[in-house]
Amino acid sequence: MRQATPLSMLLLATLIASCTSDPNTKAQQASAVDVEDAHQQQQIENIDVAKNQQLDQIDRTTGDLKEKTEANTLPPSSEQRAKAPTEVRATRQIFDADSQGRLQKANVRLDAAWRKLQLAGPYRIPNSVFDQINAATRLRSGIAKDLEREKTLTNDRWPDESKRIHARLDELESMVDDIASKADNLSD
């Protein structure tokens, strides 16, 4: 039987020490994840408040324009023509506020998931998750560009484009949900 040398004992002790996990490190990581979750929730609440303020402003502006239109005694056909642009403008502003809010929330959730994945460690993250994050980031950038372009569309093209943007936002939210659940699983 071979006798263990001091060097082999030192290597074995080092290996055992590196394999055991430090409970303080896990507690710090769990605490960091909890702080990130609270921060993410606060950001989402701030986005909701800002969106509601925008919608209230749109309602006030639209109401003022309707009152001015009704105060003028226009013939019925002129009155209908005056109301139509106001309603279209309000609809587009509501769509823009809603879409921007959804995009910002997806952005916050994607960033939070990425931070959780970084805490889990780069070697625990499958390549498929990296691919999903890259795809979600590209989709997010594309939607942001579409929302900027949407502001310049004519009224006849706007309904189709708004439906397409909403479908892409649904796809992004689904991707972010999937990434967030994988990040939660890896950080456990």
With a CB cutoff of 8 Å and minimum separation 6, the contacts of 105 are: 44, 47
CA pair distance 139, 27, nearest whole angstrom: 35
Q: Confidence class of residue 181 from pLDDT cuts 50, 70 and 90? A: very high
Cβ-contact 162, 143 below 8 angstroms:
no
Q: DSSP character for 58?
A: H
- pTM value is 0.64
Q: With CA atoms as reference, report the closest residue to 115 among 16, 43, 17, 50.
A: 43
Radius of gyration of the chain (CA): 27
Interval 172-179 mean pLDDT:
95
Residue 59 above 50 pLDDT? yes
Distance CA 16, CA 34 (A): 30
**11, 57 in Cβ contact below 8 A?**
no
137-164 per-position pLDDT tens digit:
999 999 999 999 998 888 889 899 999 9
The answer on pLDDT for 1 being more than 50 is no
Residue pair 176/109 in contact (Cβ under 8 Å)? The answer is yes
53 confidence band (pLDDT: 50, 70, 90): confident
Instruction: Residue 107: count other Cβ atoms within 10 Å of its Cβ.
Output: 19
Is residue 71 very low, low, confident or very high in pLDDT (cuts 50, 70, 90)? very low
Cβ(111)–Cβ(177) under 8 Å? Answer: no
The rounded mean pLDDT for the chain is 75
Whether residue 58 contacts residue 90, with contact meaning beta carbons closer than 8 Å, is answered with yes
Q: What are the structural domain ranges in the chain?
A: 26-187
Q: What is the pLDDT of residues 102-148, one digit of tens each?
A: 999 999 999 998 888 888 877 888 889 989 999 999 999 999 999 99
Judge contact between 44 and 108, C-beta under 8 A.
yes
For residue 45, pLDDT beyond 90: no
